[in-house]
Structure formats: C-alpha cells, structure tokens
C-alpha cells in the first residue's frame, strides 16, 4: 500500500510506515477535505476513513485519512 501511495501521490501524501497494526495514517495537503474526499471515493466504491472521524481535534485532522490494509491481498491493494 505504501508503494502504491508513493507511486500515485508522490510528495503530496506524507506517512510513516507503521511498525505494527493494520492502519496507515496519511497526511494530505491542507487544502484537502478528507470528509468530502471520502464521500466522493465512496461513490466510486472506495472506502476511506476521514481523519476527523478518528480525532478529538477535528480541524487539524481534516487533511488526514486512515487507511486499513488488514484484509486485501496485494493484488487488490
């Protein structure tokens, strides 16, 4: 998943490779509203978790999203 993000987003998406767990936190440019992005993505059959759903401070989390990589096989990612 990290390779796909790097290949498709370049330096526009920042993340740290987790040492464990099944989630990847991605920070996008401040101009990106991940709540709006999630609605658009879902209309195309892609589910993402907007940052504000997972943060008590929703304003800074607006440009962040949480991706789960626990289930899909490598070809689906």
Query: The whole model's pTM is what?
Result: 0.79
In a domain, 52, yes or no: yes
Q: How many domains does the chain have?
A: 1
Tell me how far apart the alpha carbons of residues 27 and 35 are, in angstroms, rounded to a whole number: 13
Instruction: Please report the DSSP string for 2-62 in residue order.
Output: HHHHHHHHGGGSB----SSSSEEEEE--TT--HHHHHHHHHHTT---EEGGGG-SSTTGGG
pLDDT digits (tens, 9 = 90+) for 27-69: 999 999 999 999 999 999 998 999 999 999 888 899 999 998 7
**Residue 55 structure tokens:** 């943060």
Domain of 13 in residue numbering reads as 2-68
In a domain, 77, yes or no: no
């Amino acid at each position: 998943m990290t390779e796909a993000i790097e290949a498709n987003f370049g330096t526009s998406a920042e993340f740290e490779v987790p040492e464990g767990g099944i989630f990847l936190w991605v920070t996008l440019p401040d101009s990106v509203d991940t709540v709006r992005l999630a609605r658009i993505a879902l209309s195309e059959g892609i589910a993402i978790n907007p940052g504000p759903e997972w943060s008590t401070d929703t304003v800074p989390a607006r440009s962040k999203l949480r991706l789960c990589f626990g289930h899909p096989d490598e070809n689906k990612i």
